[in-house]
Homo-oligomer: A and B are copies of this chain.
Amino acid sequence: MTNTYSIGIDIGGTNTDIGLVRDDGRCMAKKNLPTNKYSNASVYVSDICTQIKALMAENGIETIDGIGIAAPAGNFYTGCIENATNLKFKGIIDLGKLFHEHMDVPVVVSNDANAAAYGELVYGGAKGMRHFVMFTLGTGIGSGIVVDGKLVHGKTGGAGELGHAILIPEGRPCGCGRKGCLETYCSATGIRRTAIEMLEAHPEYDGPLREVPEADLTSKMVGDAAKNGDSLALKVFEKTGYWLGIALANAVAFSGPEAIFLMGGPVKAGDVLMQPVKESFKKHLCFVYDGSVDIRVSELPDNDAAILGAAALTKAKE
CA separation between A178 and B250, bound complex, in Å? 13
* B-contacting residues, A125-139, CB 8 Å: 130-131
Q: Mark A231-272, 1 if CB is under 8 A from B, else 0.
A: 000000000000100100111011111100000000000000
CA separation between A253 and B140, bound complex, in Å? 15
Q: A178-B283, A284-B166, A288-B161 are in contact. Are A156 and B256 (CB under 8 A)?
A: yes
A205 located at the interface, meaning its Cβ lies under 8 Å from any Cβ of chain B in the complex: no
A81–chain B nearest beta-carbon distance, Å:
14
A292 located at the interface, meaning its Cβ lies under 8 Å from any Cβ of chain B in the complex: yes
Contacts of A160 in B (CB 8 A): 253-256
The residue that A246 contacts in the complex, of B150, B155, B166, B289, with Cβ under 8 A, is B166
A163–chain B nearest beta-carbon distance, Å:
8
B161–A253 CB distance below 8 A:
yes
A29 located at the interface, meaning its Cβ lies under 8 Å from any Cβ of chain B in the complex: no
* Nearest opposing residue in chain B for A164, CB measure: B286
B154–A257 CB distance below 8 A:
yes
A168 located at the interface, meaning its Cβ lies under 8 Å from any Cβ of chain B in the complex: yes
Main secondary structure of the interface of A (DSSP, over half): loop
The residue that A159 contacts in the complex, of B166, B254, B283, B287, with Cβ under 8 A, is B254
CA separation between A298 and B251, bound complex, in Å? 25
Q: How many residues of A are in contact with the other chain, CB < 8 A? A: 46
A212 located at the interface, meaning its Cβ lies under 8 Å from any Cβ of chain B in the complex: no
Q: Mark A174-186, 1 if CB is under 8 A from B, else 0.
A: 0011100100000
Task: Give the one of A156, A160, A257, A292 with max B CB within 10 A.
Answer: A156
Q: How many copies does the complex hold?
A: 2
A55 located at the interface, meaning its Cβ lies under 8 Å from any Cβ of chain B in the complex: no
A148 located at the interface, meaning its Cβ lies under 8 Å from any Cβ of chain B in the complex: yes
A162–B287 CB distance below 8 A:
no
Contacts of A159 in B (CB 8 A): 131, 254-256
A297 located at the interface, meaning its Cβ lies under 8 Å from any Cβ of chain B in the complex: no
The residue that A292 contacts in the complex, of B155, B167, B254, with Cβ under 8 A, is B155
* B-contacting residues, A114-157, CB 8 Å: 130-131, 145, 147-148, 150, 152-157
The residue that A289 contacts in the complex, of B131, B145, B158, B287, with Cβ under 8 A, is B158
A169 located at the interface, meaning its Cβ lies under 8 Å from any Cβ of chain B in the complex: yes
CA separation between A158 and B289, bound complex, in Å? 7
* B-contacting residues, A71-123, CB 8 Å: none
24 contacts between A and B (CB under 8 A): A130-B155, A131-B154, A131-B155, A145-B255, A147-B147, A152-B254, A152-B255, A152-B256, A154-B255, A154-B257, A155-B256, A155-B292, A156-B256, A158-B288, A158-B292, A161-B256, A162-B254, A164-B286, A165-B253, A176-B286, A177-B287, A178-B283, A178-B284, A250-B250
